[in-house]
Chain A
Amino acid sequence: MSRPASHSHAVHKDYQGAKLGMWIFLFTELLLFGGLFILYSTYRAIYPHDFHAGGQHLNAVIGIINTVVLLTSSLTVAVALSAIQKGSRRLTLQCLGATIVLGILFLANKYVEWSEEIRRGIYPNGPELEKLPNGGKIFYGLYYAMTGLHGLHVLAGVAVLAVMLAFVWKNRVTTTDYVKLENAGLYWHLVDVIWIFLLPMLYLAA
């Protein structure tokens, strides 16, 4: 089972196929979050006042800061792809490093934000949550579910980008074979798109 080393038996690579596969995976992600968006808008239509009150208590400043953080991280990962295509490996490594740092910063902000909510008594069976009407309980339930699921995606994205950093470092992702990095970038951008929708839904709609 030795691999042919000669150049006449090059490993088959399908650039378009690899990218198409990633997009199909992203479609399932869109529908996963889309289901939560439907749930949110349905309950918002049923309990408009409770949702309005819920949104007013959230920390909009952290939400806006995290939006800027994620938009910037999307820029750095897009620059990383252009850089590897142009053959500047150094800039690719720098931009990937910056993206990972921004992803961790996003999660750190999320930690601060959630800690604040939990300290206020907003958690399952928490004293403040129990006092709220049904619509308020549903709002915070969806808030934790949506930002939590999104946060897990950020965590996964940071892990994938760290692997890409190692791949570029070890020359397994190169200027002629970069589809892994491109697909990792697509995933990261989708996580950004989902946050673009979460910001107005949760933080600004008050």
Chain B
Amino acid sequence: MYNYRTHVLLCYGGACISSGAESVKDALKKEIKEVGLQNEIEVITTGCMGICELGPVMIIYPEGVFYQKVNSGDAKEIVREHLLKGRVVKRLFYKKAETKEMVEMIKNIDFFKLQRKIALRNCGVINPLNIEEYIAADGYMAIGKVLTEMTPQQVIEEVKKSGLRGRGGAGFPTGLKWQFTAASKGDRKYVLCNADEGDPGAFMDRSILEGDPHSIIEAMMICGYAIGSRQGYIYIRAEYPLAIERLSIAIKQARENKLLGKNILDTGFNFDIEIRMGAGAFVCGEETALMRSIEGKRGQPRPRPPYPAQKGVFECPTVLNNVETYANIPYIILKGGDDFASVGTEKSKGTKVFALAGDISNNGLIEVPIGMSLRTIIYDIGGGVPNNKKLRAVQIGGPSGGCIPTQYLDVPIDYESLKDLGAIMGSGGLIAMNEDTCMVDIARYFMEFIQEESCGKCTPCREGTKIMLEILNRICEGKGKMEDLDTLEELSTVIKDTALCALGQTAPNPILSTLRYFKDEYIEHIKDKKCRAGVCKSLMKYEINPEKCVGCGACARKCPVNAITGEKKHAHIIDQEKCIKCGLCYSTCKFAAITKG
């Protein structure tokens, strides 16, 4: 054991690994050894630091210097200049999006400064593959406190006091869920963790499992103690191999340290956890479908009641929470429910993790107090929309959510306000869309998604979404009628009221919210046969401006269907009958002579 003078924290989240973090680590270690500093400097690989756009990223402590877009070639300079001689490498500093001003310290970067981390408290701070680092960060202290100082009812009261609500969708109070399950009679009860993060654009659960897997294990143990359960299952998507690997390692380490298994911490408490992999079905994020899937069956939902608190997996009383919800639990136990409840709004307590994606400068993962405005999130933390484009809308809540237009950017967001705006908190996927986005196409995209993922059990979802998709396809092809808009609204209401599970009941949301805020775009598609964003191909036309065309013939050579003709050094023309609107001519022309619209 060495007393290291400097720690290099290198982000080993999924995105940074894809950007080359592994080769950076190897290069750093090699250089450090070459200059003989291996006993003074330690390189620690951590979970996601959140700012995925700039990966691979690293922080050097104790100074707190932040480097971005590091590649293996930079390792030599970092080691020989910064670590050996104490001269920071300025060219790798973070640059402010608007002013290009360089920022050296992590504490001065807005992206990090405005956040409040509870669920992500250890992500990007500790090495997730080392249980000792988790323990050093107060890990497994909460389960110790619970087992030795608290009764199950006291645990439930503390969670209730915190005001924590489910972070996966509807926002049901977590403490109440535990209370109901604890009150159910039964020899066998189960603790489930929903890690089937299906909403496209959401990746907080993956990052928590990859960056701090032990916190989920500990939270499930606490829940197990509170409700009287001996067995937990984590249901995780097969699409997340890295998260599965790290979680498996964490469970193994917990067993080796006798934190899972029999007679935990000599208190007589028994608990173990098993991983169950999903197999690519979005509907399995719905609680009753998820339980079927854990049982090894087709993941089709069933009507409730009975609720899982009475009859869940294997017909036994069951608690199901999602990953982010669990990640808050150890903090609540150690710091107290009141501390947690001091953050957030009146009805929505604590913080929320959001995944920033789409047309936004700082793509990545953030955690902020609930009640922050979208403007602060998109512009101050997210760095705004890149390439001088304008923001069009923010999609929040995935396929069950909605598109919020820019006039509502200042609304403090919590469970209630989002619902009023026609969206939902959902899992917290937040996708910025710039002016090049066609809102009708987005509604069509989500309906296509839902249609593909509908399990087919109930008619409103199976048939209703199909008809809605057909209508939207028609509108995008310029064949829509004005009556279609009324039909869409009517179908939406019926499906909302009659579908069996949450997947179907919320499926119309993307359509309803775009109809509410962007009806003029629908009308443009129908009446003017025009897509202002230039996304809907059937409504698009490529034309050559004869004044700008120099007759070089580059476009004609590229055109896959020979739709472009013309003599050399004379203006060319596009045969609209033949044109398949692939856009190759548009991207080939060096003289900006081709217009699209």
Q: Do A and B come from one complex?
A: no
